[in-house]
Amino acid sequence: MVDGIRHRFYSAAGSVRVSDASSASKIGDLGRSTNSFQVAMIVPNRGRLRLEANQISVNNMNESSEAGSEPLWKPIDRNERRVLGVLVEKAKTTPENYPLSLASLVAGSNQKSNRAPQMQLDEDDVTLALDKLRAVGAVREVQGSGRVSKFRHAAYEWLGVDSAGSAIMTELLLRGPQTMGELRARASRMHDFPDLDMVADTLKALQQSGLVQALSPPGRGQTFAHCLYTPDEQRYLAQKVLANLPDDEPATASSSSAPRHSVAKLDDDLVEQLQQRIETMEAEIEELKRRLDRIES
């Protein structure tokens, strides 16, 4: 844990009961008032590491507002992030099958497409993640027909985001750090992003709320990540970013260093061009996948 950071867990009480599966699907991907579910929440002191302009700092943010008036999110572990991401994704892409059963959550967490890294969670792993997510108010349990327990997310209230913000956050939760172009191509299956400007505006809003951080300087190929990593994970991520930063040029460089610097500059330009082409190809491939999915369905 990072010195000076204290975490207090939220507590949530009660569950939602619906008489049949069709009723359950109606509450699918809609944001709901926490009062409707009798949820008691304690707003925590939360600490997180943020990376801005390649500087690492620790922010201790004291939240003292009433429940529902401020985002209630806190860092969660990798299994919890995967389960929460699956719930939001399926609510948007397959609302007819939402809320999700435990078996569906296990399958969704381990599926090979739209996931990075690949994971092999079992029912115990997912159940433990659900328990923790319910405890912090990010997930709620419902009961459909046949008394089968199912689960729905409360991401809109918990993260304090809209539909566009939830789509970007979901992609970051399911795939990890990504560029703006990758986010547009992949998140468009959950929310319509007609151009990169809309993605940029959404990312800016998420950064201002502390949910997203930039891992590289502005420009083509800039990479973004969510801020729901645990303190240890965030510290490791920050170290990786700093390790990849170029060293400053010496104040008194020898004349022989100039050619090497020029070659390095050419290499950097080539890498950037290749990266742009790869991003374009990935976006085209994602679009083809979406078209095939629509044809098959």
DSSP lists the bridge partners of residue 141 as 151
Tokens in use for 123? Answer: 């029912």
Percent of the chain with pLDDT over 90: 52
pLDDT tens profile 104-133:
999 999 999 999 999 999 999 999 999 999
pLDDT of 184 over the 60 cut: yes
Place of tokens 């990593």: 229
Question: Of 24-28, 93-97, 242-246, where does the model show the most confidence?
Answer: 93-97
Query: What's this model's pTM, rounded to 2 decimal places?
Result: 0.63
Q: What is the pLDDT averaged over residues 255-262?
A: 38
Q: Flag whether pLDDT at 222 surpasses 50.
A: yes
Measure the CA–CA gap between 269 and 266, rounded to whole angstroms.
5
Q: Which two tokens stand for residue 297?
A: 């369905």
Q: Domains plus CATH for the chain?
A: 1-244 (1.10.10.10)
DSSP structure string for 268-286: HHHHHHHHHHHHHHHHHHH
Q: Which helix (H) or strand (E) holds 152?
A: strand 149-153
